[in-house]
Amino acid sequence: MEKLWAGRQSAALDSTADEFNSSIAVDSRMFRQDIKGSMAHAAMLSKQKIISDTDADAIIDGLGGILHDIESGALTIDPKAEDIHSFIEAELTKRIGDAGKKLHTARSRNDQVALDTKLYLKNEAAEITDLTKSLIKAITQKAEEYKTVIMPGYTHLQRAQPILFSHHILAYAAMLLRDIDRLADWQNRSDVSPIGCCALAGTTYDTDRKFEASVLGFSAVTMNSIDGVSDRDFCIELMSDIAILMMHLSRFSEELILWSSWEFKFIELSDAYTTGSSIMPQKKNSDMAELVRGKTGRVYGDLIALLTTLKGLPLAYNKDMQEDKECVFDAVDTVKMCLKVFAPMIDTMTVLADNMKKAASNGFINATDLADYLTKKGMPFRTAYKLTGQLVAKCIADGCTLETLPLEKYKALSPLFEDDIYDEIDLVNCVKKRISEGGTSPESVNKQIETINKLISEG
C-alpha cells in the first residue's frame, strides 16, 4: 500500500522501520470514528464548494460501504497499513477512483487523528459512566437489602465505633458519584473539535470548521490551530479520572478481600467471582477483587507513561504522540472490564450479619457513647474521656465488656452513672443516636439511598 506521504522519499522504508512506525494494530479500533469524521469533512468541502457535490456524494457513499463491510466482516483491515486513516483512504480511492483522493483536501492526519481519538473517547467515557451507574445501583440495592445490619467501623484498621453496614458501603457510592461528575466535566471540556487545524497552521481553503464540528456533535472548535493538533490534555484528563475511579474500586476490593477472609468472615463472595487453589482444596480466593486491585497500578502506569511522553515535546505534532492511544485505550479497556465484573460481584455477595454483629460486640466500640453519656450529664468531655478509658481498662482486666460491667462498678468511678447507661451503650441505640446529617443512623441511610437513586435516575 502506497504511503500517504509518498513522494519526498526516493527509497522504500525499511521493513522493520515500517513495522515500528505503524499504529494500525492500536488505532484500527477507531474505524467508525475515522469514517464518521471523513463523511463530515466531505460534506463540509461540498458545502464550501471546495469539491463538487458529485464527488462528495461519491465519497460519502463509498465511506458508508466501507463501514458496512468492516462491520459485517466482508472487509478486513490490512494489518500492514500504516494506520487506520491511510487504510480507509486507500480503500476509498480503490473503490471510487480519483474522487477519493480529494477527501484529504484541507485536512492533515494531525487534526484527523486528534478528532478520531476525541470522538472515540467521548463514546467510551459515556460507557464508563453507564457502567459506574450500574455499580452504584448494585451498592444501593445491597445497602437496602442489609440496611439494619450493624458492624464495627474502623480507623487505623482498629475497631472504632458501631456503624451500619449499609452506611459503610454507601461511602463507595458517594465516591463513585464524584467519579461520574468528573467524567461529565471531562465531556464538557472535550466538546471542542480539532478538525480544520490541519498540520498546525490552518489552511488556505475557505473551510467552515463550525459546520463540520456541529455535524460531528461538537459544540465548539479549538481556538488555536497549534494547540488543536498538539493537545492531548483530553487523554490525560480522562486517564486521571479513570485512575481515581480505579483507586476507589481498589479500596473497595481491599475491604472485600479482608471481609471475605476467615479472620473477618463478614461477607461471602459468590463462587462465580472467586477461584480455588491448585493445591489447597479448601481455598476460596477473591481473585476478581484482587485483580481489580492489581489492575489499578496498571492504569496508574498508563497515566504516568503518557504524562512522561508529553512532558518534553515542543509544539506542534511529534511522532511521540502516537503513543497516546495505546496508553489511553488500555486504561479505558481496563476500567470497563473491572466495572463489568464488579457490579455483579457486589450484587451476588452475601452479607454474614451475625458475624458482623459479633465483631461489633467486642472491642469496646461503644466507648465514645459512654463518654458522651457523661458529657451530656455535665462532665467535661476530656474528664469523661479519661474516665471511660479507665473503665475499658477495668473491663479488660475483669474479662467483661461495658455492657456486662455491673452498675456498682460504674458508680464507683462516678455518681453520674444510672441504670440508663446500658440503654445508652446498646449498639442498636448507638447507631440510632448518630443523628447528625450524613451519619450512620437508619434515617440517614434511608436519605442517602433516596438521594443516590434520585441522582442516578436523573443522570
Supply the residues annotated as catalytic.
156, 277
Other Cβ atoms closer than 10 A to 158: 9
CB 114 within 8 A of CB 328: no
134: Cβ–Cβ under 8 A, 6 or more apart, which residues?
339, 343
Q: What is the CA radius of gyration of the chain?
A: 31
**DSSP code for 394:** H
Buried b (16+ CB within 10 A) or exposed e, 288-319: bbbebbebbeebbebbebbeebbeeeeebbee
Cell of residue 83, nine digits: 494506520
Per DSSP, the chain holds a count of helices (H) and strands (E) of 19, 6
Which residue carries 436519605 as its cell?
Answer: 447
Q: In Å, how far are 3, 369, 418, 420 from 377, measured between CA atoms?
A: 85, 13, 11, 12
CB 67 within 8 A of CB 56: no
Residue 224 CA to chain centroid, in angstroms? Answer: 30
